[in-house]
Amino acid sequence: MRPLQPAPACDFSANLRAERARAGLTQAELAERAGLNPASIGSYERGVTKPQIDTLCRIASALGVEPSLLLPSLEVSSAA
């Protein structure tokens, strides 16, 4: 089985900002719903850091979307 490679952070960052705006939430409101620190949401939206997969799922759940909507470009690596 080949490992999956996540999309660049900028794709995730843009998608996160767009979905948060669509939901009408502030960074603080999203963070509260996801059980995260508001500074973390800001860091993800600026592309400074990337969330772990469990955090990505918590953010997606707080937004009411599938994780793949935030990170749609999963590529199969050619390395085994």
What pLDDT, in 10s, does the model give residues 4-50?
444 444 589 999 999 999 999 999 999 999 999 999 999 999 999 99
Q: Does domain 4-76 have CATH number 1.10.3720.10?
A: no
Sign of CA dihedral 54, 59, 64, 68: negative
Q: How far apart are CA 65 and CA 69, in angstroms?
A: 7
> pLDDT of 55-79, one tens digit each?
999 999 999 999 989 987 654 444 4
pLDDT of residue 39: 97
Nearest by Cα to 45 from 7, 17, 11:
17
Q: What's the whole-model pTM score?
A: 0.78
Provide the 3-class DSSP secondary structure of residue 43. helix
pLDDT of residue 63: 97
Q: Give residue 44's identity as a one-letter amino acid code.
A: Y
